[in-house]
Amino acid sequence: MALLTLRKATTADIPQIRSLAEKVWWEHYPDIISNDQIAYMLGQMYSEAALKRQMTEEGQEFWLPEENGKALGFLAISPKGEGEYFMNKFYLDSRERGLGTIVFELMLARYPDLKTLRLRVNRRNYKSVNFYFKVGFRIEFCIDTPFGEGYVMDDFQMIYRI
């Protein structure tokens, strides 16, 4: 694997993030949620306006893991307090073995004050849940969140502590 970097994204990267989200979601989620729900959630969370709002108003810091200048996915992290963060998004376009762990470690290096990191992941997203276990997360609790149009996100909230 070539040298990976983690570059902080700007609003200029929104088209690339949208494209990556479309690709990753349509490849990964059809076995987990319905196509209608995928389309709805992509529209709600990954429109240009939604991404711009997340970056400029909601305080999400977007990162692009890159190899030779090519984005391999994206992450979004929100500060929640002293040493407390929430990982809103962690999506990789490649399933190359070990890539997720490398990107996770690069992300941790960007937040040297990090003491606690939380995230939510669909309970049926077994590969991702297992990955999070592998890097040190544990399940904090289950949560079902209405998302609109009758859709519900049935997630684990997971926690990572240093």
% of the chain exceeding 70 in pLDDT: 99
Kindly write down the DSSP assignment for every residue of 79-146, as one continuous string.
EEETTEEEEEEEEES---TTHHHHHHHHHHHH-TT--EEEEEEETT-HHHHHHHHHHT-EEEEEEEEE
pLDDT tens-place string over residues 49-93 = 999 999 999 999 999 999 999 999 999 999 999 999 999 999 999
- What's the CATH number where 94 sits? 3.40.630.30
Give how many domains the chain has, as a whole number.
1
pLDDT tens-place string over residues 21-47 = 999 999 999 999 999 999 999 999 999
* Domain coverage including residue 92: 4-161
Residue 32 near residue 25 (C-beta atoms within 8 A): no
| The residue type at 162 | I
pTM of the model: 0.95
pLDDT of residue 73: 97
pLDDT of residue 88: 98
